Structure 1
Amino acid sequence: MKDTASIIKVKKNHDGDITDVMLENGNVYSIDEALNMAKHGIIDGVNVGRAKNGREFLRSNPNGLRSDNLDNLPTF
C-alpha cells in the first residue's frame, strides 16, 4: 500500500496564490496542511521552500519540466 500521493490539482485565490491542493486519491488539503505533509514526506514530488519574508511555500522538485510545476497544474 502506497503511503504517499502526488498533487494533481490546485485551488488559487484571486491573487493567484495556491490555497488548497488535491491529491491523486481525491483528498483536498489546505496549503498549511499540505506544507506539513510535505515536511513529513507524505506528498510526492514537492518540497518546502522559504521566501525572503520567511513565509513557507510548496514547490515542485526540480526536474526540468514545466508541466508539473504547481502553478501549471489544473485548478478545481
Structure 2
Amino acid sequence: MKKSKNSERTRFVAARRNSDGTLSEFKDENGNVYDYEQALEAVEQGMIENALPFTGRDGARHIRGVNDGDKSTNLRNLKEF
C-alpha cells in the first residue's frame, strides 16, 4: 500500500497474525491493508499515528504501538481481521 507523504495520517485498527502469533498484516481506519513491510514503511514515514518504528535486539526494524499508557493503543490488542 503506497501513499504519498502528503496524505493525512491514519491509524491501524486491526491486525492479522501468522501461525506463530506474530503480527503480519495491518488494516487502517480507511480499510487499507498493509503487509508488515508496507506497514513498517508507512510508520517510518510518519503516516501512522498509533505506531512507532524501532530497532530490535536482533538489529531488524520493527513496529510497536505508541506507549501512552492506554491499552487500546497496544498493537497486540487490535482486533483481528
Q: What TM-score does the superposition give when structure 1 sets the normalisation length?
A: 0.92
Is this contact kept in 1: 2:13–2:79, CA < 8 A? yes
Provide the residue aligned with 1:43 in structure 2: 48
Paired letter, 1:41 = G
Count of residues paired in the alignment: 75
Alignment of 1:1-76 (within 5 A): 3-76=8-81
Instruction: Encode CA deviations 1:10-69: one digit per residue, 9 max, x unaligned.
Output: 000011111100000000000100101111111112110111111211111111012220
Q: What TM-score does the superposition give when structure 2 sets the normalisation length?
A: 0.86
How much is the aligned-residue C-alpha RMSD, in angstroms? 1.1
Matched residues, percent identical? 29
Structure 2 unaligned runs (5+)? 1-6
Is this contact kept in 1: 2:66–2:73, CA < 8 A? no
Deviating above 2 A after TM superposition, structure 1's stretches of 4 or more consecutive aligned residues are none
Secondary structure class of the residue paired with 2:42: helix
Whole-Å separation in 2 of the counterparts to 1:44 and 1:68: 10
Paired letter, 2:12 = I
Structure 1 unaligned runs (5+)? none
